[in-house]
Amino acid sequence: MTNAAISIDAIRDARRRAAGVVKTTPLDLSTTFSTLCGREIYLKLENLQKTGSFKVRGALNKIQLLDPAARGRGVITASAGNHAQGVAYAARMAGVAATVVMPETAAFSKVAATGGYGARVVLAGHDYNEAYERATTLAREQGATFVHAFDDADVIAGQATLGLELLEQLPDVDTVVVPVGGGGLLAGLISAVHGAGTRARIIGVQAAGASSLQPSLRAGARVQLDCVDTIADGLATRSIGARPFEIIQAGVDDAVEVSDAEIAEAVLLLLERAKTVVEGAGAVSLAACLAGRIAGPGSKVAVVISGGNIDTNLLDRIINLGLAHEGRLFRFTTLLQDRPGELQRLVTCIATCGANIHQIRHERAQPGLALTQAAVTLDLETRGREHIAEIERVLHDAAFSVLRVSTNGGVA
Residues with a known catalytic role = 55, 306
- The 8-class DSSP code of residue 28 comes to E
Name the amino acid, one letter, at 28: D
CA 75, 76, 81, 83: dihedral to nearest 10 degrees? -50
For residue 329, the surrounding DSSP H or E stretch is strand 329-337
From the CA atom positions of the chain, what is the Rg in Å? 24
Cα 117 to chain center, whole Å?
Answer: 22
Q: How far apart are CA 86 and CA 229, in angstroms?
A: 24
Other beta carbons within 10 Å of 9? 10
| Contact (Cβ atoms closer than 8 angstroms) between residue 100 and residue 114 | yes
| Contact (Cβ atoms closer than 8 angstroms) between residue 240 and residue 212 | yes
The total number of residues written for the chain in this structure: 412
| Contact (Cβ atoms closer than 8 angstroms) between residue 274 and residue 32 | yes
For residue 204, the surrounding DSSP H or E stretch is strand 201-207
- The 8-class DSSP code of residue 411 comes to B
Q: How far apart are CA 139 and CA 367, in angstroms?
A: 52
331: β partners: 379
Q: How far apart are CA 297 and CA 15, in angstroms?
A: 31
| Contact (Cβ atoms closer than 8 angstroms) between residue 233 and residue 82 | no
Q: How far apart are CA 166 and CA 356, in angstroms?
A: 44
Q: Which residues, 6 or more positions from 31, have their beta carbon under 8 angstroms from its beta carbon?
A: none
Q: How far apart are CA 60 and CA 239, in angstroms?
A: 24
